[in-house]
Protein backbone atom coordinates (compact mmCIF):
# COMPACT_ATOMS: atom_id res chain seq x y z
CA UNK A 1 0.00 0.00 0.00
CA UNK A 2 1.36 3.40 -0.95
CA UNK A 3 1.63 6.23 1.52
CA UNK A 4 -0.47 9.35 0.94
CA UNK A 5 2.21 11.50 2.56
CA UNK A 6 3.69 13.95 0.07
CA UNK A 7 7.41 14.61 0.00
CA UNK A 8 8.61 17.35 2.31
CA UNK A 9 8.96 20.61 0.37
CA UNK A 10 12.34 21.25 2.00
CA UNK A 11 13.61 18.07 0.32
CA UNK A 12 12.74 19.46 -3.12
CA UNK A 13 15.21 22.31 -2.58
CA UNK A 14 18.00 19.81 -1.95
CA UNK A 15 17.36 17.66 -5.01
CA UNK A 16 16.41 18.36 -8.59
CA UNK A 17 13.35 16.12 -8.36
CA UNK A 18 10.11 18.08 -8.04
CA UNK A 19 6.54 16.90 -7.84
CA UNK A 20 3.19 18.28 -8.84
CA UNK A 21 1.26 18.99 -5.66
CA UNK A 22 -2.16 18.41 -7.26
CA UNK A 23 -1.32 14.90 -8.50
CA UNK A 24 -1.17 12.00 -6.05
CA UNK A 25 1.20 8.98 -6.24
CA UNK A 26 -1.29 7.20 -8.50
CA UNK A 27 -1.47 10.05 -10.99
CA UNK A 28 -4.93 11.13 -9.87
CA UNK A 29 -6.03 14.76 -9.52
CA UNK A 30 -5.92 15.72 -5.87
CA UNK A 31 -6.87 18.79 -3.86
CA UNK A 32 -3.91 19.60 -1.59
CA UNK A 33 -4.63 19.01 2.10
CA UNK A 34 -3.76 22.25 3.92
CA UNK A 35 -5.13 21.14 7.30
CA UNK A 36 -1.73 21.02 8.98
CA UNK A 37 -0.39 24.22 7.42
CA UNK A 38 0.03 27.23 9.67
CA UNK A 39 -2.21 30.25 9.22
CA UNK A 40 0.04 33.06 8.01
CA UNK A 41 -0.42 36.33 6.19
CA UNK A 42 -0.15 35.59 2.48
CA UNK A 43 0.10 38.12 -0.32
CA UNK A 44 0.54 37.64 -4.06
CA UNK A 45 0.82 40.12 -6.90
CA UNK A 46 0.30 39.30 -10.58
CA UNK A 47 0.49 41.41 -13.71
CA UNK A 48 -0.38 41.42 -17.39
CA UNK A 49 -1.40 43.80 -20.15
CA UNK A 50 -3.88 44.52 -22.92
CA UNK A 51 -2.30 46.04 -26.02
CA UNK A 52 -4.51 48.01 -28.39
CA UNK A 53 -4.62 50.69 -31.05
CA UNK A 54 -3.58 54.16 -29.89
CA UNK A 55 -7.07 55.55 -30.59
CA UNK A 56 -8.66 52.88 -28.40
CA UNK A 57 -6.20 53.54 -25.59
CA UNK A 58 -6.86 57.29 -25.75
CA UNK A 59 -10.61 56.70 -25.77
CA UNK A 60 -10.62 54.67 -22.56
CA UNK A 61 -7.87 56.69 -20.84
CA UNK A 62 -9.86 59.91 -21.42
CA UNK A 63 -13.19 58.39 -20.36
CA UNK A 64 -14.72 58.76 -23.83
CA UNK A 65 -15.87 55.19 -24.36
CA UNK A 66 -19.60 54.91 -25.07
CA UNK A 67 -19.91 52.09 -22.50
CA UNK A 68 -18.69 54.33 -19.68
CA UNK A 69 -15.74 54.01 -17.30
CA UNK A 70 -13.96 50.97 -18.70
CA UNK A 71 -11.39 50.89 -15.89
CA UNK A 72 -14.04 50.94 -13.15
CA UNK A 73 -15.90 48.01 -14.71
CA UNK A 74 -12.68 46.04 -15.32
CA UNK A 75 -11.52 46.71 -11.73
CA UNK A 76 -14.78 45.35 -10.28
CA UNK A 77 -14.60 42.37 -12.65
CA UNK A 78 -11.03 41.62 -11.54
CA UNK A 79 -12.01 41.75 -7.88
CA UNK A 80 -15.00 39.53 -8.53
CA UNK A 81 -12.81 37.12 -10.50
CA UNK A 82 -10.37 36.77 -7.59
CA UNK A 83 -13.26 36.04 -5.23
CA UNK A 84 -14.61 33.35 -7.61
CA UNK A 85 -11.26 31.67 -8.32
CA UNK A 86 -12.23 28.38 -6.66
CA UNK A 87 -15.36 28.24 -8.84
CA UNK A 88 -13.21 28.53 -11.97
CA UNK A 89 -10.09 26.50 -11.16
CA UNK A 90 -11.19 23.02 -9.99
CA UNK A 91 -8.52 22.26 -7.36
CA UNK A 92 -8.21 25.74 -5.82
CA UNK A 93 -9.37 26.12 -2.24
CA UNK A 94 -12.22 28.57 -1.59
CA UNK A 95 -10.53 31.42 0.25
CA UNK A 96 -11.67 34.25 2.49
CA UNK A 97 -9.73 37.07 0.85
CA UNK A 98 -9.15 40.10 3.05
CA UNK A 99 -7.98 42.40 0.23
CA UNK A 100 -8.05 42.48 -3.56
CA UNK A 101 -6.58 45.47 -5.34
CA UNK A 102 -6.61 45.87 -9.12
CA UNK A 103 -4.70 48.76 -10.70
CA UNK A 104 -4.31 49.97 -14.28
CA UNK A 105 -1.48 51.97 -15.79
CA UNK A 106 -1.75 53.45 -19.26
CA UNK A 107 1.47 53.01 -21.26
CA UNK A 108 1.08 55.22 -24.33
CA UNK A 109 4.55 54.34 -25.63
CA UNK A 110 3.48 50.69 -26.08
CA UNK A 111 -0.26 51.35 -26.65
CA UNK A 112 -1.27 49.19 -23.76
CA UNK A 113 -2.92 49.08 -20.38
CA UNK A 114 -0.80 47.37 -17.74
CA UNK A 115 -2.78 45.50 -15.11
CA UNK A 116 -1.55 44.68 -11.62
CA UNK A 117 -3.54 42.77 -8.99
CA UNK A 118 -2.65 42.05 -5.38
CA UNK A 119 -4.54 39.59 -3.19
CA UNK A 120 -4.12 39.17 0.53
CA UNK A 121 -5.41 36.97 3.36
CA UNK A 122 -4.52 35.27 6.61
CA UNK A 123 -4.81 31.61 5.74
CA UNK A 124 -3.30 28.19 5.11
CA UNK A 125 -2.68 28.47 1.37
CA UNK A 126 -1.34 31.08 -1.02
CA UNK A 127 -3.23 33.54 -3.18
CA UNK A 128 -1.23 33.38 -6.42
CA UNK A 129 -4.13 31.86 -8.36
CA UNK A 130 -6.50 34.56 -7.12
CA UNK A 131 -4.10 37.32 -8.22
CA UNK A 132 -3.65 35.68 -11.64
CA UNK A 133 -7.42 35.31 -11.99
CA UNK A 134 -7.97 38.97 -11.07
CA UNK A 135 -5.54 40.09 -13.80
CA UNK A 136 -7.04 37.68 -16.35
CA UNK A 137 -10.65 38.68 -15.71
CA UNK A 138 -9.77 42.40 -15.71
CA UNK A 139 -7.97 41.94 -19.05
CA UNK A 140 -10.89 39.99 -20.53
CA UNK A 141 -13.29 42.70 -19.38
CA UNK A 142 -11.18 45.43 -21.02
CA UNK A 143 -11.20 43.33 -24.18
CA UNK A 144 -14.95 42.75 -24.02
CA UNK A 145 -15.75 46.42 -23.51
CA UNK A 146 -13.50 47.57 -26.37
CA UNK A 147 -13.75 44.77 -28.94
CA UNK A 148 -16.32 46.60 -31.06
CA UNK A 149 -13.84 49.41 -31.76
CA UNK A 150 -10.63 47.34 -31.66
CA UNK A 151 -11.01 43.59 -32.27
CA UNK A 152 -7.23 43.17 -32.71
CA UNK A 153 -6.34 43.78 -29.06
CA UNK A 154 -3.76 41.49 -27.51
CA UNK A 155 -3.81 40.15 -23.95
CA UNK A 156 -0.40 39.08 -22.74
CA UNK A 157 2.36 38.43 -20.26
CA UNK A 158 0.14 37.36 -17.36
CA UNK A 159 2.40 36.20 -14.54
CA UNK A 160 2.99 36.15 -10.80
CA UNK A 161 5.32 39.00 -9.84
CA UNK A 162 5.79 38.17 -6.17
CA UNK A 163 4.37 36.32 -3.24
CA UNK A 164 4.96 36.23 0.49
CA UNK A 165 3.92 34.09 3.42
CA UNK A 166 3.65 30.42 4.06
CA UNK A 167 6.33 27.79 4.51
CA UNK A 168 8.24 28.75 1.36
CA UNK A 169 8.41 32.43 2.36
CA UNK A 170 8.96 35.34 0.00
CA UNK A 171 9.50 35.04 -3.74
CA UNK A 172 10.06 37.82 -6.29
CA UNK A 173 10.31 37.48 -10.07
CA UNK A 174 13.69 38.69 -11.27
CA UNK A 175 14.25 40.39 -14.61
CA UNK A 176 16.07 37.33 -15.98
CA UNK A 177 13.13 34.97 -15.32
CA UNK A 178 11.19 34.49 -18.52
CA UNK A 179 7.73 33.04 -18.98
Q: Is residue 107 annotated as part of the catalytic site, yes or no?
A: no
Buried b (16+ CB within 10 A) or exposed e, 55-80: ebbebbeeeebeeeebbebbbebbbb
- Neighbour count for residue 44 (Cβ, 10 Å): 25
CA 67 to chain centre: 26
Give me the pLDDT at residue 168, please.
Answer: 81
pLDDT in tens, the chain (179 residues): 444 444 444 433 343 456 556 666 777 776 777 877 888 999 999 999 999 999 999 999 988 776 779 999 999 999 999 999 999 988 888 999 999 999 999 999 999 999 999 999 998 888 999 999 999 999 999 999 999 999 999 999 999 999 999 888 899 998 655 55
Residue 172 is inside which H or E element, if any? strand 171-172
From 69, 87, 107, 144, active-site residue: 144
The model's pTM is 0.82
Give me the pLDDT at residue 34, please.
Answer: 81
Give me the pLDDT at residue 46, please.
Answer: 98
Give me the pLDDT at residue 20, please.
Answer: 58
Amino acid sequence: MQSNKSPDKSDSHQTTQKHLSHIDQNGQANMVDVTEKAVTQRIATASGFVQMQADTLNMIANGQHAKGDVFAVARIAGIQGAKKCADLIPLCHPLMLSKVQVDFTVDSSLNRVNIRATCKLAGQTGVEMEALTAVSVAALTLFDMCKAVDPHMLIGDIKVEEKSGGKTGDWHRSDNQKG
